[in-house]
Amino acid sequence: MSSTVNERELILDILLENERGTFLNLIIRQVLDKYDYLPDHSRSFIKAVSEGTVERRITLDYFIDRVSSVKVKKMKPLVRQLMRMSLYQLMYMDSVPSSAVINEAVKLAKKRKFSNLSGFVNGVLRNLDRMDFDEIEGELSLSQRYSCPEWIVDMFTSEYGIEMAEKMLASSLERAPLTVRPVGITADELIEKLAEEGVAAAHHEVLGSAVVLPEGTVPGRLSSFVDGYCTVQDAASQLSVLVAAPEKGNVCIDLCAAPGGKAAYLAQLLNGTGHVSARDQSENKTELIEDTIERLGLENIDTLVWDARTLRDEDIESADIVFADLPCSGLGVLGRKSDVKYRVRPEDIEELAALQREILDTAVRYVKKGGTLIYSTCTVSPQENRDQFEYIKSLGLEPVDFDDCLPPQLKGRGEGQLQLLQGTFGCDGFFISKFRKA
């Protein structure tokens, strides 16, 4: 631990800010940027405990409620988050001594003006430390064991079966792989470059163009990233661009492009020809795309601040490829965004599906005759994927078999649509579909 910064106090503040509604990944990034002088082990500890505490919240609350006279929901926010983060360390971080966890929690309670509750904190944590978690685990429901709201567990189970649902839930508690795409060099050459920087990268298990970085790697600190030889992009996202199969001279529109990975890949595959219009609804988002464009040195792409629901008359039937990777519930990326599962509600699915259809009504009008529409999401809900596939068909577009674009492990699955599930093929949960306008 750093002698000048109390890492546990930073974690506590991160969790309190998250409870107030700020996205966890944004808070962690802000804190780590502010304290960028901290050693790697401290940064890793802050990130691991913050993410893990949120990720395992339902499980942690279950065990706290078993021994506490005051239920978690009734606790003061600071005490609640202090209990959760301390129990997370007791349950899931063997390298941290229990005595240190409990003593630091008591000190923090006193430091933050809760001296009157320091005895309560101490007593509850000591009782938890004596508990045999493994023995009790058999009593837990899937929701409690995998710390996932019951309605999501029910959706996964009814749609994909109990065995696959449990695999998906388990995957959501694992650290999602950090995958990058080589730019201007091969995957082998990128792995060699990274090795020279002391990073032991590896080929993705399915997608040959993707490279997986070791857990804890910070891309922004790598020369290979800063100099534009690679960019962060999940394998499933990369695959969706390969499915689009852009050809020399194509005109492409990416409707919801931030942070720019797919649009940049389209431009790269066009090899300096054609044009990509990368759009999003705010300047903050298009600035992210512009950062990617500049770092990668791409010239056949520009950005536009535009609401994807609004028809742009000059673009009607102008595009060879329209990419509609649309806002969704994010249930395929729970391993990357631990707080998504607590934010999204069942009614949000219907609202998102309605928004997606509104954007699709506009998107299809941009596709020229003989052109391609790619519809994709990073979720696994049928309303946002399979049902939207049928909706696009009702708009007069024809599904296109894209089996020839898939790696060997996925052959036989690309009959116009492909649903990837987290926990399989080393990818996020992701949906890809391809259509042609007759």
CATH code for position 36: 1.10.940.10
Both 198 and 319 in one domain: the answer is: no
Both 337 and 393 in one domain: the answer is: yes
Active site residue 378: yes
Residue 18 lies in a domain: yes
Q: What is the mean pLDDT of residues 319-330?
A: 97
Q: Specify the pLDDT at position 103.
A: 95
CA distance 176 to 391: 31
Residue 322 lies in a domain: yes
What are the tens digits of pLDDT across the range 52-66?
999 999 999 999 999
Q: Which of 252, 378, 405, 427 is catalytic?
A: 378
Residue 159 lies in a domain: no
Q: Specify the pLDDT at position 2.
A: 44
Number of domains in the chain: 3
Q: Specify the pLDDT at position 94.
A: 86
Both 187 and 114 in one domain: the answer is: no
Task: Indicate whether 380 pLDDT > 80.
Answer: yes
Task: Indicate whether 185 pLDDT > 80.
Answer: yes
Both 383 and 266 in one domain: the answer is: yes
Task: Indicate whether 325 pLDDT > 60.
Answer: yes
Both 53 and 122 in one domain: the answer is: yes
Both 224 and 92 in one domain: the answer is: no
Both 194 and 123 in one domain: the answer is: no
Percent of all residues in the chain with a pLDDT value above 70, rounded to a whole number: 99
Structural domain span for residue 424: 235-437
Q: What is the mean pLDDT of residues 304-332?
A: 97
CA distance 5 to 45: 13
Both 199 and 101 in one domain: the answer is: no
Both 124 and 264 in one domain: the answer is: no
Both 185 and 85 in one domain: the answer is: no
Q: Specify the pLDDT at position 259.
A: 93
What the block records as the tokens of 363 is: 């998107």
Q: What is the mean pLDDT of residues 76-103?
A: 95
Q: Specify the pLDDT at position 1.
A: 43
Give this prediction's pTM: 0.92
What are the tens digits of pLDDT across the range 16-39?
999 999 999 999 999 999 998 899
Q: What is the CATH number of the domain that holds 351?
A: 3.40.50.150
Both 223 and 240 in one domain: the answer is: no
Q: Specify the pLDDT at position 61.
A: 97
